[in-house]
Every structure is written in C-alpha cells, then in structure tokens.
Amino acid sequence: MGAYAQEKILDPVCGMEITRGDPDTLISSYKGQPYYFCAQCCVRVFKKNPERYLKAKTPFGRFLARLVRANVKVFGRAGPPCH
C-alpha cells in the first residue's frame, strides 16, 4: 500500500483518528468531497447537517482539536465509543 492509503485522518463528527484506505473506514460524499467516518452512526449524524461539522474552527474548536489529540496520546482514543 502507498503512503496515501495509510494516511491518518479525523472523523469530522466524533474526532476519532482513522486510517484512510482501511477496509473498515466508511466514506460519504458531500458537494463532491469525500469524508471518512469510523462508524455508521457518525455517517448518519453528518448527513443530517454536514455544514455543522465542516465549519472553520473557532478558538474553542481549536482547543477541542488539541484535546482530542491529547486524549489519543494519553488514552488511545480520540472521542466517544462509536462502535
């Protein structure tokens, strides 16, 4: 597999780190752009209101992103248990 297939990305709904190209990673498109998800429940939530999850990050949003990265480093998971 190439580097692209192993790229780590975040689920836009729960913030969980997932691997693009993993057979378990779910994909949904919005305005021609693919988005990647860890679980079907995240896909459903995203489809109800995609703009909510695609807005530019505010200072609080950037804080939450740092918190997600810290949780992954310390606890091994970024967000809620979606599975």
In-domain check, residue 16: yes
CA 39 to chain centroid: 10
pLDDT of res. 66: 78
Q: Can you give the residue range of the structural domain that contains 46?
A: 4-75
For residue 80, being part of any structural domain is answered with no
30 within domain boundaries: yes
Please state, in angstroms and rounded to a whole number, the distance separating the CA atoms of residues 64 and 51.
Answer: 18
In a domain, 59, yes or no: yes
One-letter amino acid at 42 equals: C
In a domain, 81, yes or no: no
Total structural domains in the chain?
1
Is 55 a member of any domain?
yes
- The pairing of strands 26-30 and 8-10 is unpaired
Q: pLDDT tens per residue, the chain (83 residues)? A: 455 557 888 888 888 888 888 888 999 999 999 999 989 999 999 999 998 888 766 777 777 777 877 877 877 766 666 65
In a domain, 24, yes or no: yes
Assign 53 to helix, strand or coil: helix
Q: Is 83 among the domain residues? A: no
Instruction: Give the pLDDT confidence score for residue 50 in this predicted structure.
Output: 92
